[in-house]
Structure 1
Amino acid sequence: MSPVSLLLNILWIALGGFWMAVGWAVAAVIMAITIIGLPWARAAFSIGVYTLFPFGQTAVPREAVTGSEDIGTGPLGVIGNIIWLVFAGWWLAIGHLVTAVLLAVTIIGIPFAWAHLKLAGIALWPIGKVIVPIDDLGLRR
């Protein structure tokens, strides 16, 4: 992780990133408790870690990394994302949107607001995404 990414991640945690990561963790725990929600719990935990440290990483479609379609990127992934959207995705996205609006009011908060907007999109449709370091992005294609 570059020094700039490290500094941005520290500021991110202090300016609200921690609370949204807690929200992702709560969603993951609730999904794991239900047993049926275990596939969604895994996605929620990995995106929760990404929510805690978003700078220096990015979310990309899994098939762009692996080069092939799998169960999470095909039709079952779409069905899984629809179920996620109904049960957890909308409230996580609203949390990111509200935090983004509050941060966008200040000049220093604009980059953090932009990161929350990207995370809101991921909150709506997380299955089939993988988190990769930005430095590795060019090497994996």
Structure 2
Amino acid sequence: MSFLGNILWLIFGGFISGLAWILAGIICCITVIGIPIGLQCFKFAGLAFCPFGKEVVYGGGAGSFIINIFWLIFFGTEMAIVNTIIGLILCVTIIGIPFGLQFFKIAKLALMPFGARIE
């Protein structure tokens, strides 16, 4: 069932969400300091392309907190707002609710991606 959900996900906006994570990763990898942040973005692009059947576990410490602050300033706020708006639009219909919930999961990840892992 998650395979079918992921296929439909790509059609209903998941492809654009994954591309946003890849673009953020490429921009971060331009500088040497941003390479760890860019690599984390590439990891989460996999979740953005196929979110059904995967969970995000949040954790981390002070280092993750500091990197999350920089992330919020440069990329996180915009990505979270866009994913939340798309999720709200999809939740208007009953058929779109599962897809909207996945966008909410990615919006939360866009706010705090560092210290999180995908299971």
Q: Name the % identity.
A: 40
Alignment TM-score, normalising by the size of structure 2: 0.95
In the alignment, the residues of structure 2 paired with residue 59 and residue 44 of structure 1 have an alpha-carbon distance, to the nearest angstrom, of 14
Q: How many residues align?
A: 119
Q: CA deviation at 1:5?
A: 0.3
Match 1:101 to one of 76, 80, 88: 88
Say yes or no: does 1:84 pair with 2:81.
no
Deviations 1:19-57 (CA, angstroms, capped at 9, x unpaired): 011011000000001222111111111111101000011
Q: Which has the larger radius of gyration?
A: 1
Q: Quick check: 1:100–1:112 contact (8 Å CA) kept in 2?
A: yes
CA RMSD of aligned residues (A): 1.0
1:74 maps to 61
Q: Distance in 1 between matches of 2:107 and 2:58?
A: 16
Runs of 5+ in structure 1 lacking a partner? Answer: 63-72, 133-141
1:114 matched residue in structure 2: 101
Please name the residue that 2:30 is paired with.
Answer: 33
TM-score by length of 1: 0.81
2:4 counterpart of 1:7: yes
